[in-house]
Amino acid sequence: MIETVKAKAKELLESGNIQGFLGLIEKNGHIAPHLFTDPVELQALNLGDREKAGDARYPLTKYLIQIAKAHPEHIFGILVRGCDERSLKTLYNWNQLDPNQVVPLGFACPEELAEACECLQPYPDACEAGEKVSGRSFEGVAKLDAMERGERFDYWNEQFSKCIKCYGCRDVCPVCFCNECSLASDDLIQTKTFPPETPLFHLVRAVHMAGRCVDCGLCEQACPVGIPLRTLYKKIYAIMDSEFDYQMGYSEEKSPLNLL
Amino acid sequence: MNYTTALTTCTYCGCGCNFYLEVLDGKVIGTIPCKTSPTNEGKLCIKGWNVHEFVQNPKRLTKPLIRKNGQLLEADWEEALDFTASKLKEIAGKDGPDSLAFLASAKLSNEENYIYQKFARAGVGTNNIDHCARL
Ligand code: SF4
Ligand code: SF4
Ligand code: SF4
């Protein structure tokens, strides 16, 4: 599959239709985000797989925001999985990226990753490489929903109490781009104190993710203390789906909660 | 157009977390924790996440400062080192080496920190040495 991706990226660069291809490269013994401008470099392209499929994924679409803004004269190719495509869609909706400036190159995730992610659609709509496997349901959410209310409350409070307030969940998130962040607003939380208020800090972020989170799971991977953030936001997805008939990351328009 | 991700090690404490500094057209614009680093596996603390903000911060000191008449004034290295050496001598001579303390930094290399503690212990003669990573 990776050879197909390399060939397509090469085609895009050589055709002159794009001036750079944002993807991942293997260098210095690591897997790093990289802007390919020379097709020769594509030999070292990586899909974000180190020991396990998708264990070296990065929020590429987030990085593209700044690059594309600085170079409005250029068109950029970008490597996307299903969740990256979902974030692109969201970033277009929020005018953070211009679809005319972006050429996605999509590939499908394998079975084991779809399973680990409990991903509803483990492939992009525009999928040019890899074999599509079927989506999964949110079993983690169902498990927590099955708990008795008090027990569930205790579970989450215990999880949140581990937080070291690193803001990594926000900093890594492909759809966190606000100039004024709720988590930096003294009106909503105590910004300069530690430990964070539990569960306020996490619920402020969770509420702000309603209508935005695309279920990429990068926040949970970045969390140094292993809080199951992804499950929390999957619950938000489920609520938005059942109460507003809005599918975060899949619906074409902005969420009904948008005031802007 | 030039966008690069430079792999480097955090200078804040002794853990040695790895991250990429995002450099766009010569300006450091972001910090990306390295997911394949065995040390931090794509995670960072709040200080690490914000390293890109200090690298090119205009408030960062680039020249030594000496306080003269209550005011911090820029000095060249020659003057700053002469001043420090004579003050250290004066204080150690008057009140003994244990009246001095040395604060090292995680922003120095291992070797620099070694020399620094050697200077404090063997040169000046005090064990009063600590460093900024004990936060
Ligand atoms: S969330 Fe879905 S598309 Fe994204 S990495 Fe996981 S399986 Fe792939
Ligand atoms: S899963 Fe986490 S990182 Fe990904 S979009 Fe949702 S909140 Fe952001
Ligand atoms: S990544 Fe984890 S520890 Fe850091 S602020 Fe978010 S929830 Fe807290």
The reply to whether residue B7 touches residue A57, judged by beta carbons under 8 angstroms, is no
The number of domains in chain A is 2
Structure tokens at A161: 């109490």
Confidence of residue B135 (pLDDT cuts 50, 70, 90): low
Same domain? A208 vs A233:
yes
Query: Ligand 1, atom 4: nearest CA belongs to which residue?
Result: A83
pLDDT tens per residue, range A86-101: 999 999 999 999 999 9
Give, rounded to a whole angstrom, the gap between the first and last alpha carbons of chain A.
Answer: 41
Contact B51, B21 (CB under 8 A): yes
Pick from A52, A156, A70: nearest CA to B30: A70
pLDDT tens, position by position, A210-259: 999 999 999 999 999 999 999 999 999 999 999 999 999 999 888 888 76
Q: What is the pLDDT of residue B11?
A: 87
Domain boundary among A103, A129, A155: A129
A96 and A146 part of one domain: no
Q: What is the pLDDT of residues A185-208, one digit of tens each?
A: 998 999 889 999 989 999 999 999
User: Where is the domain boundary, A129, A151, A172?
Assistant: A129
| Of A95, A129, A163, the domain-final residue | A129
Does residue A102 lie within any of the structural domains? Answer: yes
d(CA A136, CA A129): 20
> Cβ(B28)–Cβ(A153) under 8 Å?
no
CATH assignment of B3-54, given 2.160.10.10, 2.40.128.110, 2.20.25.90, 3.40.50.2000?
Answer: 2.20.25.90
Q: Are A32 and B25 inside 8 Å of each other by CB?
A: no
Residue A108 has pLDDT above 60, yes or no: yes
Which residues of chain A lie closer than 8 angstroms to B29, CB-CB? Answer: 66
Chain A: closest CA distance from residue B26 (Å): 12
Strongest mean pLDDT among A92-101, A178-187, B8-17: A92-101
Return the pLDDT at A195: 92
Residue of A13, A28, A37 for testing the chain B interface, max B β-carbons within 10 Å: A28
Question: Percent of chain B, pLDDT > 90?
Answer: 84
Predicted confidence at residue A50, as pLDDT, reads: 95
Strands (E), A68-201: 76-80, 102-106
Instruction: With 0.80 as the threshold, say if the pTM is over it.
Output: yes
ipTM for this model: 0.94
Q: Please indicate whether residue A124, judged by its CB atom, sits closer than 6 Å to ligand 1.
A: no
Q: Range of A185's domain? A: 139-244
CA atoms within 13 A on the CB side of A12: 24
What's the CA-to-centroid distance between A215 and ligand 1, angstroms? Answer: 8
Report d(CA B30, CA A58) in Å as an integer.
Answer: 13
